[in-house]
Structure 1
Amino acid sequence: MKLASALTFGGTGENPSRWRRLPGMAIGLVYLCFPMLDLVTGNVTGAKAVWGAFGLVTFIVCYIAVVMSQRTFGKPTLLSHLLIAAVTVLAVGLPLLFGGGWLTLPIYMTVLYSMALSTRAAVVGIVGMGVTVALIGLLKQNDPGTTLVLVFQVATLGILFMSVRNTRLLVTQLRQAQEEVARLAASEERLRIARDLHDLLGHSLSLIVLKSELAGRLAESGSERAVAEINDIESVAREALVEVRDAVTAYRQRGLSGELDGARAAMEAAGTRVTVRLAGTPLPDALDGLLGWAVREGATNVIRHARATRCEIEVTCDGESTVLEIVDDGRGAAPYGPGSGLTGLTERVEAAGGTVSAGPGETGFALRVAVPTAAGGRA
């Protein structure tokens, strides 16, 4: 019963998929066969059987409605509160009227309380269901051993599903933290670039402003020095433009070693354990920059999409070809799509005579880049 009920609230994250809950819910409801047997075997007959069947159907409908209406663990809506109240009345009233196998109904309430209500309210509800089962068992003179087992089920399932609920909430918070780490890392990188460009252009632009003012005054007075100052302005502006282009090129091609360090720091901050293996001769500068680009694209995918706990980055060079492989144990579905960066990477690699393959691997997602080492001179 524990395994079946564990599937009742399917999906992951703060807003679990409600449709995923249906298969597990169907399995869990099979334990309602005990009250159904009372109706089928004739233990309950006449009008009482009709009302019992109606009450059981109503219980099932309300139970499913609670599960399907629940959007966030521990934060029930007004509709959920009303449905839980209705199911609670049925879970207490039907066993009180019929006894026997109907005492399994309060066990279902422990699952609802644990997953849908706040911790304090869930504890109160679970204790209440345990007392209810014990009292109804005594009142209906059920087998003491069976009643004790049902009370034990109420307690253990309550603790189990509260733990499940808390674990899922922690997973949600961890994912949010990982997304925040990735966002902060990108923000910090933008700030670093802004500071570098400010330091790079601040002096040149200030000099251009001063020389422009001086050239204007000299031009008004008809001095021949105005032409020399204008030429200086042109020279400073050209030098600043070259420096900016060099800086941007350096940002885009930080190199394999720098990208590996950055990828390791970012992924470990996001909770992913990284293993890096390098084998072979030193790479040509152009090829080093190309693989650095590939490492950045792969690391971005792992942080933002894969939700992996482990990632392996391996670079091998045998003198003829160089291969980069990034394999994680995250979600196997291909997260790449138009505009994701893979298209641009593929074009650059193919221009260097190499190939790119990306897709689900044995344990997660795998990105493989293979480039002829001789292409380093034209990559």
Structure 2
Amino acid sequence: MERGTDMRSGQGTGREREPDWQVRRIARRAAQRARRARGCAPGGGPDPVAGPPNALTLLPWLLLGMGALSNIVQGKTPNPWVGVVGLLAFNSLYVTLVFRAFHKEAREAPATRWCLVALGAVTCALALAYGGNWLLFFPLLGLATGAVVRGRRLGPVMFAVTTVAAVVAGRSGGMDTLGIAYGTLLSGMVTAAILALSETVKKLRDTRQELARAAVDQERLRFSRDLHDLLGHTLSVIVVKSEAARRIAPRDMDAALEQVRDIESVGRQALTEIREAVTGYREASLAAELDRARGALTAAGIEPVVRQSGPPLPPQTAALLGWVVREAATNAIRHSGAATCEIELRSSAERAVLVITDDGNGVGSNPPGSGLTGLGERLALAGGTLGSGPAPDRGFRVTAELPVEPTGEEEDGERG
């Protein structure tokens, strides 16, 4: 059984199916990277360690107010109902601020700033009225300030809050003034730093996802271009040789069989090129494409004229020009109805120019197809240009220009 039949029936060798396994492995790796970028565990569920902080992570710090609540319960607080109202007001404002801090629009709203001012006023009033454990609300005020205030305003605001905490703690007495001031400053700055770092990590993850999507789109575009160029040329050659075999079979069976053998060879080569295109390994060889263009044009009844001048080209430049030769020859065979097709390659140390001209009239009046458009995009990425249109006298002309990239050996010689 032939190799192509084995592939279609799904019973080919492991070597033939190797590109499929490589593609699946690449897809699995991409999916794993995407899950990690979303903060998910390898199994697909959320990763609690990698998850960003949220409002719930700041609520347990309210336990610092347990000392003040204990004083109320034990009757150590004068006017306990005032203390209860103050405690409820503080907790309500604190919870409101930490939940608004994680939404940019709510965080930057004027109502949030007024809530922070009100929290500061309640904290100062409770600390001045009761002192002792009630001074521990200042670190909570610093924490809320660090969660709400961002950017350049954070430094001056935290300095003001720390100064107020030190002054109030110094007037109330009973607790270490320096400890209250240090706790207030540290809680605010550490909270702001952690939240800023979390937002930066989130932006980096979003950027990584965008880059991954861009890479997938670029690979899809590469594959579509390769597939169009490969199949368009190959099928055109197969059609031309099939027509030639049909025409000469009644007169010369041996010549017809030779055309059939050529069709078989072209089909096998196409299968190899498609597998290489799937795995991204294929590069068009300029010499091979020139030979194929000669054979295909001759089989189509078009006389090929190939002229080359200048030094050998680096592999990357030659590969790109090989795609141009393939596409232009395919268009000449399929559309032009030409009798002659001239392929001229001129190269120098700086640039390479490829001009392909036929004397037909098939594509001269039509806009460029997807093949020429894709080639133009490829050459533009390499710093080159691709022009196409009617020739001055008659027919159609494709002109490609590319800068000549130095090879690795030349670069080493220049450095030496």
TM range (shorter): 0.3 to 0.5
TM, length-normalised to structure 2: 0.44
TM, length-normalised to structure 1: 0.48
Q: Who wins on radius of gyration, i.e. which is larger?
A: 2
